[in-house]
Every structure is written in C-alpha cells, then in structure tokens.
Structure 1
Amino acid sequence: MIVVWLKLLHVTALSIWAGGILLMPLLLGRREAAGDGATLHRLHAFSRFAYIVVISPAAFVAIGSGIGLIFAREVYTAWFAAKLLLVGGLVALHVWVGLLVLSVFDEGGRFARWRVAASVVVLSALITAIFWVVLAKPPIALAGWVADLARPGGLGALAEPLIRRLTP
C-alpha cells in the first residue's frame, strides 16, 4: 500500500513541477509587455512566488518520492537509468529557469520571444521524453563498456590498468 501512496505523491508532484516549469518561460516572456512600475513588480513577485513556493518544492517532493519508489520497487533497469538521465536534464533546466527569474527582471532585462518558444519546445520535449520512457519502459540493450560496468566487478576491471599505473 505504501507504493501506491508514494506513486500518487510522485505523480502529483511531478505534474506540478512539469506544468510549473513549463509555464515559467511564458511568464518571463511577459517582462517587456509589463513595462515599468506596479505591473512589472506584480509579474516579478508572481514569478518568484511560483518558482520558490510552488515549483521548487514540487520538484523536491517529486525527486524525494521518486527515490523512495526506487527502494520500494527495486527498479534497477536500463530504462530507469535513461529516465534518471532525463530527469537530471530537467533539474538542470530548472536551475537555469531560476537564474532567469533573477536576471530577466533586472533593469533592462528581457526574454526574447524566440527564447520563450525555444524554452517551451525544449522543456516540452524533455518532459514528454521522461513520460514516454516511464510509460513505455523500452528495452535498452547495454553494449560495450556500459555493459561491462553493469556486471559485478565491471568497474574494477575497467579501472585495473589505471590502478596498476598509480600503485607502486
């Protein structure tokens, strides 16, 4: 039963995180239209509030509940590694959006329309890829040195030449 509640928490938090982070470039794109004064201040305050109070905590809950699901479900497969790589990309873009929230509202700051469009496309593609990997669970064949790392003792065998050179 704990797995069901963890999944519910994970999916809910991930939905809030993904929807919120997808909204942020659209909000930042409104910076020029807001002009100066009270409208700009409200847009800045709302953007910061959304990022700090809603989106970032949802990201932490999504990642934390996801870690809990790893141990509860014992998921150690290649598709899961691909999902973690994609989530790492989403985390990197999350940090980038946070830096934008700080810089776009500086005096003279702006966020061009083409950047808004590019950001939405990249974020949408990444979020779609994460959901696709999770739902499709594609069979990913490990080949080459990656397959060697997946077997017990693989890292030691790969690092053995380096270890021999460093030890007297």
Structure 2
Amino acid sequence: MAVWLKFIHIAAIALWAAGIVSLPGLYVQRAHISKDQDLFRLQKIVRFSYVRILSPAAFVAIASGTGLIFLQEPYSGWFSVKLMLVGMLVVIHVMTGLVIIRLFEEGEVYPVWRFVTATILSGGVVCGILFVVLARPMVDFSVPPGFFEPGALKSMISKISPWPIP
C-alpha cells in the first residue's frame, strides 16, 4: 500500500512542480499576442493547465503525502523543512491563480522580470524540496529545557516585558 501511495505522491508532485515552473513561460507570451482569437486560445490553455491539471495534481500530492505521514511516520527535522517548502509551493500555486485571473484583462501584460523571478523562485523551491527529500539532512530543532512546561510562556515574557505580569 505504501509503495503505491508513494508512487502516486511522486507522480503528482512531479506534475505539480513542472506546471508551476513552466506556467510563467506562457504568461510572457501574453505581450506578443495581438489578435483576440490567439489571446483567447492562450487564455484557454493557461486556465485549462491550472484548473484541470495543476490544481488536481496539487490536491493529490498533498492528500497522498498526508497519507504517507500516517503510514511511514517520518517525524524528523528534515521532514519539517520539507513541509515548510511544500507550504511555500502552495503559496506560489495560489499566487499563480491570482496572476491568471488578472493577466487576461484588457491592457495587462506579464513583464519579463516577473517571468524570470517567478521561474527562479518556483524552481528554487522545487529544487529545495528535492534536496531535502533525497539528502535528508540532519536538522535539530532543539528547544530550551522547560519550554513546554505549564506557565513557561509567562516566565519567558516576564523577563522581557516592561510591564509587571501578575
């Protein structure tokens, strides 16, 4: 069961990541289109890619990854870093959807500097996920002693607060 779920997870992540990295290349083409028919065709391709391919792949990737958490129990420091990077990929996914909504309004274009920035940022996040998953570096998230004891927050704040805490 875990093998098939991991296969589904990897395939969904690969599809999702490839789409997130490649969509800005389609956005840049918006500036070079003058005919309404060609603009409509580009809009149709971009929206189809986002709504019918990338978003379901993102959902399957996150759902299968959640299932793998319960099957394999990968509770270690590298896994926390991976989840942070996946959260960044989700934010990029949402921002991509917002760009698609505005991009095809009259007079809108996608500048080349945004294309370069978005591609480098999304590619960096994807490469970061690959590195963390494959290398599994030792990451230590140690906390000071007594950090999780009842009343610990009150004692920490009383050390830095200018007001007396009862």
Is the structural similarity TM-score above 0.5? yes
Distance in structure 1 (CA, Å) of the matches to 2:3 and 2:146:
32
Amino acid at match of 1:65: S
CA distance in structure 1 between the partners assigned to 2:149 and 2:51 by the alignment: 40
> Secondary structure of 1:30's partner?
helix
Pairwise CA distance, 1:155: 6.4
Amino acid at match of 1:64: A
User: Taking structure 1 as reference, are residues 80 and 156 closer, same or farther at Cα in structure 2, changes over 3 Å only?
Assistant: farther
Give me the whole-angstrom Cα distance separating, in 2, the residues matched to 1:63 and 1:35. 39
The separation in 1 between residues aligned to 2:151 and 2:73, in whole angstroms, is: 26
Q: Measure the CA separation in 2 of the matches of 1:157 and 1:3.
A: 41
Greater helix share, 1 or 2? 1
Q: Determine the structure 2 residue equivalent to 1:38.
A: 37
Deviation of 1:36 after TM superposition, in Å, equals: 3.3
Q: Identify the residue that residue 111 of structure 1 maps to in structure 2.
A: 110
The alpha-carbon distance between structure 1 residues 116 and 163, as it changes in their structure 2 partners (threshold 3 A), is: closer
Residue aligning to 1:10? 9
Change beyond 3 A, Cα 1:42–1:77: same
2:131 alignment counterpart? 132
The amino acid that maps onto 2:72 is R
* Alpha-carbon offset, residue 127 of structure 1: 0.3
Q: CA deviation at 1:154?
A: 1.8
Please give the root-mean-square deviation of Cα atoms over the aligned residues, in Å.
2.2
Whether contact under 8 Å (2:146, 2:152) holds in the other structure is: no
TM-score, normalised to structure 2, is: 0.89
In 2, Cα distance between equivalents of 1:155 and 1:59: 38
Question: Does 2:153 align with 1:159?
Answer: yes
Aligned to 1:56: 55
The CA deviation string for residues 100-138 of structure 1, in whole angstroms up to 9 with x for no partner, is: 001111111110011111111111111000010000000
5+ residue gaps, structure 2, are: 159-165
1:39-80 Cα offsets, whole Å, 9 max, x none, are 000000110000000000000000000000001001111100
Q: Runs of 4+ in structure 1 displaced over 4 angstroms?
A: none
Question: What TM-score comes out, normalization by structure 1 length?
Answer: 0.88
Structure 1 equivalent of residue 162 of structure 2: none
